[in-house]
Amino acid sequence: MTIKEVQDNIIEEFSLFDDWMDKYNLLIDMGRELPVIDPKYKVKDFLIEGCQSKVWLHPSYDGKLISFTADSDAIITRGIVALLIKVLSKRSPDEIIATDLYFIDKIGLRQNLSPTRSNGLLSMVRQMKLYAMAYNAKNK
Amino acid sequence: MRDIADIRADFPILSRKVYNKPLVYFDNGATTQKPQCVLDAVDEVYKSYNGNIHRGVHFLSDMSSEGYEGAREKVRSFINAGRKEEVIFTSGTTGSINGIAFSFGERYIKPGDEIILSRLEHHANIVPWQMMCQRKGAVLRVIPINDNGEIIPEDYHKLLSKKTKLVAVTQASNALGTVLPIKEIIEAAHSVDVPVLIDGAQGIQHGFVDVKALDSDFYVFSGHKIYGPAGIGILYGKEKWLSELDPFQGGGDMVDKVTFEKTTYNQLPFKFEAGTMNYPAAIGLATALDYVSGLGRENIAAREKELLLYATDRLSAIKGLKIYGTSGKKISTISFLLKDIHQYDTGMILDKMGIAVRTGTHCAQPVMDYYRIDGTVRASLCFYNTLEEIDSLAEGIEKVKSMFG
């Protein structure tokens, strides 16, 4: 699936629910399904600044694609992390850098998460793109 | 006390909805809502008599200055200070403490001197002292707490020594709600000739403050936490200290004579009020204090005690909920955590139900470290809250449990 297709799928999934509680329940479920991160990466080096709850994000690069694993101590945050991983993991650095994450607005995440959360979400995206840029720079 | 529905009608924001649900505002420890009379008072300044204070020859400037000085007298009487020259306007509690920490440090502190704080302090009553200690080579000493979230008086007495130059403690913990025995703290410090600063940010809105009876050397608080506007605060200091201390800011209005060689300072209180002060907020604060006096401070204290007891009962009955801060003497603030549920998850879902609480460390990380937690959910109540709102919170918490359990 392309990044666009994955985003459109997420938008469709969230559009099934009108009530915000149901949307949160979906996020919570997604958080629970997030594959576990290797505990050795749950350290300060992989902790993302800007989140009020803790988020650990670990990248790995096989020369073509970047894979991310991540975790958070709060479940709703973990759901958001799971969404971002769905969209941005196992992609090339160029794809990650160029991606416009329109699904965040479309499913109402930006407005409906508190401002600090929203910042956390943006920090996560920024960190993923920074890793992609770093790997790209190494390639050149 | 007036009927609760009637009182709530004084606060326009309380009737609004968030996410189509009635607002339940339980974040009064962060800031309180404003009654219409305060909004009107500030509005009135800008609409009909705005002019910069203390410097004009014109009508509007005179009227603003009169309003501002009238506000100072209102504050004096509210805290029962001896003279209105002992009441300095600042930007807030943080501004007041930073100012005193600077001026006091410059005047009196030498390497090896000690400042005593408690473990319950807000960062605003830690960091300015830390900065001063770094500058002066002085040392912070900390009064420890017990599991109830109370300071341990015997340990405080042991900390007091010849090296102690100042004690700075909060009247009530913003994170846990504990009320500190400030009268005893002041008496003990005075018995060894050490002055005391009381951080009243979480105290003054919940009951009486009489700086004369307390014999407090400094008392500071914020306007926005006692139903007044943001951006105004108070630094009360005994005249003997304020006369000895040098200003913490320089600028216009605080001077007597300025040449490029030397400046002499204005008299109290003006020497501590450099530049244009937030006079509309000062006037709004005076109106807020009138409003509080109108409701009756003993009435407010009694009502908030009732709310605290009811909320403590309701929340304690919830399985898996742990309250942090279990002293018998508390303001109407309850900090808690649900077993295995992150405070942000709880806060986020409560928000969606229209219930405003605060989550996190509450700018009191040393308190969180004591309990080895990352933060709590804090419901801070005040007189305009209702028992029904507490029921909504309890129901909301059950909902959170069902979603994350």
B374 exposure class (CB count in 10 Å sphere: 0-12, 13-18, 19+): buried
Domain that holds residue B21: 4-30+296-404
- Closest chain A residue to B350, measured at CA: A21
Q: Is B344 touching A (CB cutoff 8 A)?
A: yes
Q: Domain count of chain B?
A: 2
Q: What region does B81 belong to: left with phi over 0, alpha with psi -120 to 50, or beta?
A: beta
| Nearest-CB residue to B352 (from A24, A54, A117) | A24
What is the reported pTM? 0.93
| Nearest-CB residue to A74 (from B19, B342, B403) | B342
Q: What is the pLDDT of residue B37?
A: 98
- B-chain residues near A21 (CB < 8 A): 349, 352, 403
Q: What is the pLDDT of residue A118?
A: 52
| Location of structure tokens 């958001």 | A80
Q: Are residues B322 and B216 in the same domain?
A: no
Q: Are residues B300 and B154 in the same domain?
A: no
Mean predicted confidence (pLDDT) in B226-245? 97
What's the CATH number where B377 sits?
3.90.1150.10
- B-chain residues near A52 (CB < 8 A): 344, 359-360
Q: Are residues B335 and B244 in the same domain?
A: no
Strand ranges inside A2-42, DSSP E:
none
- Closest chain B residue to A74, measured at CA: B342
Q: Which residue has the higher pLDDT, B255 or B292?
A: B292
- 3-state SS assignment for residue B360: strand
Q: Is B352 touching A (CB cutoff 8 A)?
A: yes
- B-chain residues near A114 (CB < 8 A): 347-348, 351
Q: What is the pLDDT of residue A116?
A: 56
To test the contact with chain A by mutation, choose from B19, B340, B348 the residue with the greatest count of A C-beta atoms within 10 A, namely B348
- A-chain residues near B403 (CB < 8 A): 21, 24-25, 28
**Which residues, listed in sequence order, are joined to residue B321 by a DSSP beta bridge?**
B338
Q: Are residues B352 and B240 in the same domain?
A: no
CA atoms of A129 and B3, how far apart (whole Å): 57
Q: Are residues B272 and B300 in the same domain?
A: no
At B248-260, the pLDDT tens digits run 999 888 888 888 8
B29 secondary structure, DSSP code: T
Q: What is the pLDDT of residue A53?
A: 83
Q: Are residues B200 and B135 in the same domain?
A: yes
What's the CATH number where B145 sits?
3.40.640.10
Q: What is the pLDDT of residue B167?
A: 98
End of a domain among B251, B268, B294? B294
* B394 to chain A, closest Cα gap in Å: 17
Q: Pull the structure tokens for residue B341.
A: 């549920």
Q: What is the DSSP string of B300-317?
A: HHHHHHHHHHHHHHHHHT
CB contact under 8 A, B345 and A76: yes
Q: Are residues B133 and B214 in the same domain?
A: yes
Pick from B181, B179, B141, B132: nearest CA to B160: B141
Q: What residue spans of B113-161 are helical by DSSP H?
A: 127-136, 153-159
Full pLDDT tens readout for chain A, 140 residues: 999 999 999 999 999 998 888 889 999 999 998 988 999 999 999 998 766 788 999 999 999 999 999 999 889 889 989 999 999 999 999 999 999 989 988 887 776 555 555 556 778 888 999 999 999 988 77
Q: Pull the structure tokens for residue B280.
A: 């509309």
Mean predicted confidence (pLDDT) in B119-145? 98
To test the contact with chain A by mutation, choose from B345, B350, B355 the residue with the greatest count of A C-beta atoms within 10 A, namely B345
Peptide bond into B269 cis (omega under 30): yes
CB contact under 8 A, B348 and A76: yes
Q: Is B356 touching A (CB cutoff 8 A)?
A: no
CB contact under 8 A, A28 and B404: yes
Q: Are residues B131 and B241 in the same domain?
A: yes
DSSP-based helix, strand, coil % in chain A, nearest 5: 60, 10, 25
- B-chain residues near A55 (CB < 8 A): none
CA atoms of B150 and B21, how far apart (whole Å): 37
Domains and CATH numbers, chain A: 3-139 (3.90.1010.10)
- A-chain residues near B19 (CB < 8 A): 20
At B336-391, the pLDDT tens digits run 999 999 999 999 999 999 999 999 999 999 999 999 999 999 999 999 999 999 99
- Nearest 5 degrees, angle CA A30-CA A32-CA A36? 110
CA contacts within 13 A on the Cβ side of B287 = 21
CB atoms within 10 A of CB B315: 18
End of a domain among B242, B277, B294? B294
Q: Are residues B57 and B25 in the same domain?
A: no
Based on DSSP, count helices (H) and strands (E) in chain A, helices before strands. Answer: 7, 2
- B-chain residues near A75 (CB < 8 A): 341-342, 345, 404
Q: Are residues B56 and B198 in the same domain?
A: yes
Q: Tell me the torsion sign for CA atoms B257, B261, B265, B271.
A: positive
- Which residues of A carry out catalysis? 51
ipTM of this complex: 0.87
Q: What is the pLDDT of residue B268?
A: 93
* B342 to chain A, closest Cα gap in Å: 5
Mean predicted confidence (pLDDT) in B86-103? 98
- Percent of all residues in chain B with a pLDDT value above 90, rounded to a whole number: 93
CA atoms of B170 and B161, how far apart (whole Å): 20
* A62 to chain B, closest Cα gap in Å: 35
CA atoms of B80 and B73, how far apart (whole Å): 10
What's the mean pLDDT when you consider all of chain B? 96
Distance (Å) of CA A10 to CA A5, A30, A40, A105, B120: 9, 11, 30, 12, 45
Q: Are strands B196-199 and B139-143 parallel, antiparallel or unpaired?
A: unpaired
Q: Are residues B282 and B400 in the same domain?
A: no
Q: Pull the structure tokens for residue B96.
A: 């007041």
Q: Pull the structure tokens for residue A72.
A: 């958070």
- Closest chain B residue to A115, measured at CA: B348
B128 exposure class (CB count in 10 Å sphere: 0-12, 13-18, 19+): buried
Q: Are residues B324 and B223 in the same domain?
A: no
* A123 to chain B, closest Cα gap in Å: 17
**Rounded to an integer, what is the distance from CA B33 to the centroid of its chain?**
14
CA atoms of A127 and A116, how far apart (whole Å): 16
- Closest chain B residue to A79, measured at CA: B345
End of a domain among B268, B294, B320? B294
- 3-state SS assignment for residue B199: strand
Q: What is the pLDDT of residue B310?
A: 98
